Amino acid sequence: MGAQHIIYMDHSATTFVKPEVVNEMVPYFMQHFGNPSSIYSIARESRKAIDAARVQTAKALGADPDEIYFTSGGSESDNWAIKGVAFANRKRGNHIITTQIEHHAVLHTCQYLEKEGFEVTYLPVDQYGLVDPAVLEKAITEKTILISIMYANNEIGTIEPIAELGVIARKHKVYFHTDAVQAIGSEPIDVKAQNIDLLSLSAHKFYGPKGTGALYIKKGVRIDNLMHGGGQERRRRAGTENIAGIVGLGKAIEMVTADIPGHSAKIRAMRDRLIKGVLTTIPHAQLNGHPEKRLAGNFNVSFEFIEGESMLLWLDDEGICASTGSACTSGSLEPSHVLLATGLPVEISHGSLRLTLGDANTEKDVDFVLEVLPKVVTKLRDMSPLYSKSGKEGGCNVQ
């Protein structure tokens, strides 16, 4: 790599851990390392720390502390919510509703349940990635036991109308789960007001440590365990608690939800300048996702005639960390299922770039990306046979 300075614009992939969070975690590695299930005093310190983190997490969601269960992260929370509700409510019905744009932790779990005899409806989305509440309501049958719809999409940043969807779920007495992994700290969440029965979150998306997450389970929801073993988490999630991780999650969620409007406004201002700059300086570029209903830090754009992975390699060479929905980075030959679900043509999906801003960024980073990105796009277009073929590169076809 030629770059000396790293410009991190992949906050939706993961975030750095805030120093304040690390400082809170440190004592729980060497000092208060006791197993919370033990009865001696250092174990009581661990127990207290977990209880405090549970209060912090509950407060951030408008939940009660005893509705918060710590897990190993977003994937476990999604697996637990979906499989747990499906198996516990099998006698009531076997139908699950989700969307075509969910994270693979939800989609692959639903596909697994299909093999186990469940029926799954994958709701379509519009060109912006929005689920239509009326379409959800029509999909509900007498056999529907669970609706799982993400709070906000990880690729295109589109924020779903969760409160409206929650009303429909409540009206039909169907459990409503939302994967809120991308939304924590960016959007204000109130599980009671929004009729959310289960909610997944993951600490490393909001400046906490990796390997720690939580599932909110509203009191009274019928759900089976996913992890069987010891009696941790009030007998619902076996395994000795990741104390330091849980402490970190608690501190991180407290910090990130302290001033959501103020924080999001700051990130959004940088992001909007980036969007405007890119779309005005680079021709044949289009914004993916919704123009307004999108996460404050998310920018997803497609550039015609070029492919995403080659863009990432050049950006990486300049020290810019980004991601793409192109097949070429996914280990498969199909581009992003999210972009395809919005109706974006496959060839344009290959040319998508996602830049997700957050606390690692400054206005200078935006300036630098605006300086580098047009050059990268031009360089790749100059060697693309599609660009000259399209007649859009000057010459006799210039307008």
Partner 1 sequence: MYSDKVMDHFKNPRNVGEIENADGIGEVGNPVCGDIMKIFLKIENNVITDAKFKTFGCGAAIASSSMATELVRGKTLEEAWDVSNQAVAEALEGLPPIKMHCSVLAEEGIHKAINDYRVKKGLEPWVEKNPPSHEHEDMTCQH
The residue ranges that bind partner 1 (CB under 8 A) are: 305-310, 313-314, 317, 326-329, 331-333, 335, 346-347, 350, 382-388
- Cβ closest to partner 1, residue 225 vs residue 329: 329
- Cβ closest to partner 1, residue 32 vs residue 350: 350
153 three-class SS = coil
- Cβ closest to partner 1, residue 66 vs residue 382: 382
Instruction: Please tell me which residue in 110, 321, 328, 396 is annotated as part of the active site.
Output: 328
d(CA 362, CA 368): 10
Taking the alpha carbons at both ends of the chain, their separation in whole angstroms is: 39
Quote the least distance from Cβ 384 to partner 1, whole Å.
Answer: 4
Quote the least distance from Cβ 312 to partner 1, whole Å.
Answer: 9
d(CA 53, CA 36): 14
d(CA 58, CA 253): 10
Quote the least distance from Cβ 27 to partner 1, whole Å.
Answer: 39
- Cβ closest to partner 1, residue 164 vs residue 393: 393
Quote the least distance from Cβ 188 to partner 1, whole Å.
Answer: 39
| CB neighbourhood size of 348 (10 A) | 18
The enclosing H or E element of 135 equals helix 133-139
- Cβ closest to partner 1, residue 102 vs residue 307: 307
Which of 181, 125, 155 lies closest to 324, judged by CA? Answer: 155
Q: In the chain, where do the E strands start and end?
A: 7-8, 68-71, 95-99, 119-123, 144-148, 175-179, 198-202, 213-217, 285-287, 298-303, 320-321, 352-356
Quote the least distance from Cβ 73 to partner 1, whole Å.
Answer: 24
**Residues whose CB falls within 8 Å of the CB of residue 371, separated by 6 or more in sequence, listed in order:** none
354 three-class SS = strand
Active site residue 321: no
Q: Which residues are catalytic?
A: 328
